[in-house]
Chains A and B, each alone.
Chain A
């Protein structure tokens, strides 16, 4: 079993829809990243969380340390949100989930 599991693997949404991507992990961590990678592009760190909730524009990330679970929400999705979203956890090193491929159709 992978230490970091993401779901879904693939997600297609219509523009304007509310989107949720989930991340579960099995190791003790001090921080969790949500990363975004556009096709052929670099990796951008959207959020780093160690507790609670963070919001940036239309993006919201939550983490429940007791349940070892985090969610990334995108409100009012837009085609430019189409990308791969990767969850990564830091215990003494970064461990990555396999990523969620998101496609938002107009």
Chain B
């Protein structure tokens, strides 16, 4: 089954404690991305990756890091989480080649930083 898997689904952590949210896809997609969703602000892109070892900042990259060492995985790293990073996070992967477009989203990770 084609899917994007995020873990964990829910996480409560304390300010400053490094954490990683994992994202994995099984569709061999080149494009992967991370978003955060906040009330009244909609979905905003954090980082995206067009292929292995190629990552770019989205609209709200501050406080986040990513890596793309292999095609299937795209982890989101918060080196020193702060309360303003409390949010709902989504990972997505996609194939945007002409005539073959598809995209899938993970189930979301609800992060609370206290």
Give chain B's interface residue range (CB within 8 Å of chain A).
20 to 34
Secondary structure dominating the interface of A: strand
A-B contacts counted at CB < 8 A amount to 54
Taking a contact as CB atoms under 8 Å apart, the answer to whether B42 and A93 are in contact is no
Secondary structure dominating the interface of B: strand
Interface centre among A44, A92, A93 (most CB of B within 10 A): A93
Taking a contact as CB atoms under 8 Å apart, the answer to whether A96 and B42 are in contact is yes
Complex: A41 Cα to B110 Cα, angstroms: 11
Chain A: interface residue total (CB-CB under 8 A): 22
Which B69-114 residues have a C-beta within 8 angstroms of A?
A: 90, 92, 94, 96, 98, 101-108
A binding-site residues for B, Cβ under 8 Å: 30-31, 33, 35, 41-45, 48, 50, 86, 88, 90, 92-99
